[in-house]
Structure 1
Amino acid sequence: MAGSKKPRGLGRGLSALMSDVQPEETREGGAGPRRPDLLVPIEKLVANPNQPRRRFAPEHLQELTNSVREKGVIQPLIVRPKDGGLYEIVAGERRWRAAQAAQLHEIPVLVREFDDVEVLEVAIIENIQRADLNPIEEAAGYRQLMDNFGHTQEKLAEALGKSRSHIANLMRLMNLPEDVQEFLREGLLSAGHARALITSENASELAKKVVKEGLSVRATEALVKREQAAVDAPAARLKPRKTEEKDADTRALEGDLSAALGMKVSLAHQNGTESGSLTVRYETLEELDSLCALLSNT
C-alpha cells in the first residue's frame, strides 16, 4: 500500500469517484445500466485484499445468485488492471461471487486506473451507499484510510457526507472488546448499543446481557449507568467530605464556564498556590465531540 504518501485530500475528488459507483437507477436521465467497457472471463478477476466488507450473508448471496442466474449481471463491476492480464475488483465483489455460484463464464466490467487510495475510497463509498457495511467494517475502513494514507476525521466526514461525530463515534467502536465487536458484525448489537457500552469497564458481560434480553439502546444506557453507580458508590462512601466552601468568585467562574461550554464545570484551586484543577463533565459522546472540536479549534 502507499503508506509513505503525504497526507492529502481524498483521491481524485468524490465527484469523479461517485460517478463510477452511482447505482444505475439514480443516474442522470434514467438512462439505465451503464455500458460495460468489456466482458472479462470470470477467472481473470481477483478480489481486493483490502475490501472493507468482510462478511457476505449466505442467504443474501443466494438471493443475488438466483437473480444473476436468471437475468445475468446487470450492473458492471468496477475493476482496475493488474499484472498478468488480471483485474482487481474495486466495487462489486458480491456480484462476482454470485456470478461464480451461478456458473457464468464472463462478467461485465468498467476498467478504471485507480490508485490504492482511490480503490479503498470507492469500496467504502459503494458499500455505504448500499448500507452493506456493519459498523465495525465501516470503522475499519475509515481506520485504513487514516492509518495508511494520512486522512483526518474532518476530511473523511467532508468527503463522505458524514458528520465528524459519526466518524468519531464509529472509530471508538474499535476500542470495544473483540467479543462485543463480533456481536456488532453479526447484527446482534447496533451502533447505538455499542456506543452506550464503550464507557463500561465490563462491556463484554453487559453486551451478553443486552443480547440475551433483547434490550433497547435506551435500556442499555440505563444498564450502564446503574453499573457505574454501583461501582462509584463504595468509593463515594470512603471519600472524605470537603469542609472548605468555594468562594463567590470561584462559583461565578464555574457558572460562566458551564454556560459557555454547555457542560458542568468544576474548579478546585489549591489554597496558597497558583495551581489547581478544572473538571468538565460531559453527559454524552456528542458533548465530548463538541468539546474536542472546541479545544482543537475545528
Structure 2
Amino acid sequence: MSEKQRGLGRGLSALLSDNQGSVPIATNDGKPAATLEKPIELLQPNPDQPRRFFSEAEIDDLSASIKEKGVLSPILVRPLPGQAGQFQIIAGERRWRAAQKAGLKTVPVIVRELDDLEVLEIGIIENVQREDLNPIEEARAYKVLMERFGRTQDAVAQVVSKSRSHIANMMRLLGLPEGIQDHVIHGRLSAGHARAIATASNPEALAEVIIQKGLSVRQAEMLARTALSGETKPARPKAQTNADVLSLEQDLQELLGLNVKLDDKGGKGEVRIAYASLEQLDDVCRRLMAGSPR
C-alpha cells in the first residue's frame, strides 16, 4: 500500500467528527487546510457512501446543535467529476443533512482532489473509527473495496486498522437472508446473534425466536445448536423447525435443565427428554410433579 493510502486514516475520527467539535483540519503534508463556504445545494452525497441508514433522532439532535452553534467541523468534499461547480461529499453527510434541516444556506467545506478509491477508503475509515456503520453496512463497504478495487482481506484490514478475522467475520454476514440482514441493520439483532444462526437451515425462524424472547448471543448459540442437532435426525419432520416449536423447546430446556426435543407432526407428536443419570431423571420427575422449577 502506498504512503498516500497509509495516511488516509490518520486522525480522521478526530478531524472529521460529527460531534460539533471545533478542530482544525490539516492536509496530508501537515499544512492547515483552507475552509470555504459553499452553498448547501452545490453539495451532493456520494452514492458509494458506506453508511446508508441515518437515524432521524440523531439528525434532529445534530440539527438543533447546528441551529445554535453552526457547523463547527467542515465537510470534506471533492469536485464532482463531470459537473463543474458541484461537489461530492467525502465525509460529513450527516452534518450536511442536519444543516439542511436546520435551514442553513451555506456550509463550511474543505475541498480535496481525491480519486474514487481514496474517497471510498476515507468514507469507510471515518465511519468505522466512529463506529457509525451498522455491521451490514460495514461488511458491504469491505465487499466494495475487494470487488471493485481488488483489495484482499489483508489489505482491507490494514486500511481500516482491523484484524483479518474481523473482516472475514463481517463478510460472512452478507451470506444471511435479507430478512436477517434487515434485523441487524435496524438493531433488532446484533452481529453476534446473526453469526450464531448463520449455519442453520432455518435462520429466519430462529431470528424470530431470538427477537421475541430477547435471547442473549450465548442463548442464541444454544438455540442454533439445538436446531442443528435435530436436523441430523431423519425422523424429525420439517414442521418441527417452525418458530413456535423451537420456542417451546427452549422454554422446556430452561425449565428442566436438560436437552429437550419436540417431534411435532401437524399438532401431534412426542416430547423427548435426554438424561445422563438416574439422578437427573429423578430431578426431572420431581420438577414435573411439583409443577414448577425449584
TM-score (structure 2 length as normaliser): 0.72
Which residue of the partner structure matches residue 185 of structure 2? 185
- Distance in 1 between the 2:36 and 2:16 partners? 21
Q: Which letter maps to 1:227?
A: A
Which residue of the partner structure matches residue 99 of structure 1? 99
- Paired residues of 2:124 and 2:160 also in contact (CA < 8 A): no
Which residue of the partner structure matches residue 43 of structure 2? 45
- Paired residues of 1:10 and 1:151 also in contact (CA < 8 A): no
- Distance in 2 between the 1:91 and 1:75 partners? 11
Q: Which letter maps to 1:62?
A: D
The alpha carbon displacement at 1:235 in A equals 7.8
Write the mapping of 1:25-44 to structure 2, written as runs, cut at 5 A: 32-34=23-25, 36-44=34-42
Taking a change above 3 Å as real, the CA distance of residues 31 and 69 of structure 1, as seen in their structure-2 partners, is closer
Taking a change above 3 Å as real, the CA distance of residues 162 and 110 of structure 1, as seen in their structure-2 partners, is same
Write the mapping of 1:108-147 to structure 2, written as runs, cut at 5 A: 108-147=108-147
Which residue of the partner structure matches residue 283 of structure 1? none
The alpha carbon displacement at 1:146 in A equals 0.6
- Distance in 1 between the 2:16 and 2:110 partners? 17
- Distance in 2 between the 1:117 and 1:137 partners? 17
TM-score (structure 1 length as normaliser): 0.71
Q: Tell me, what secondary structure is at the counterpart of 1:233? A: coil
Where in structure 2 are there 5+ consecutive unaligned residues? 26-32, 237-294
Write the mapping of 1:82-231 to structure 2, written as runs, cut at 5 A: 82=80, 83-231=83-231
Taking a change above 3 Å as real, the CA distance of residues 31 and 73 of structure 1, as seen in their structure-2 partners, is closer
Higher relative contact order, structure no. (Cα contacts within 8 Å, ≥ 6 residues apart): 1
Q: Which letter maps to 2:96?
A: W
Which residue of the partner structure matches residue 14 of structure 1? 6
Which residue of the partner structure matches residue 60 of structure 1? 58
- Paired residues of 2:121 and 2:159 also in contact (CA < 8 A): no
Superposed CA RMSD: 2.1
The alpha carbon displacement at 1:33 in A equals 3.3
Which residue of the partner structure matches residue 270 of structure 2? none
Q: Which letter maps to 1:95?
A: R
Where in structure 1 are there 5+ consecutive unaligned residues? 1-8, 237-298
- Distance in 2 between the 1:104 and 1:10 partners? 39
- Distance in 2 between the 1:10 and 1:43 partners? 35
- Distance in 1 between the 2:211 and 2:182 partners? 12
The alpha carbon displacement at 1:37 in A equals 2.5
Q: Tell me, what secondary structure is at the counterpart of 2:51? A: coil
The alpha carbon displacement at 1:234 in A equals 3.1
Q: Tell me, what secondary structure is at the counterpart of 2:4? A: coil
- Distance in 1 between the 2:168 and 2:159 partners? 15
The alpha carbon displacement at 1:25 in A equals 9.6
Q: Which letter maps to 2:222?
A: A
Taking a change above 3 Å as real, the CA distance of residues 65 and 217 of structure 1, as seen in their structure-2 partners, is same
Q: Tell me, what secondary structure is at the counterpart of 1:40? A: strand
- Distance in 2 between the 1:57 and 1:23 partners? 21
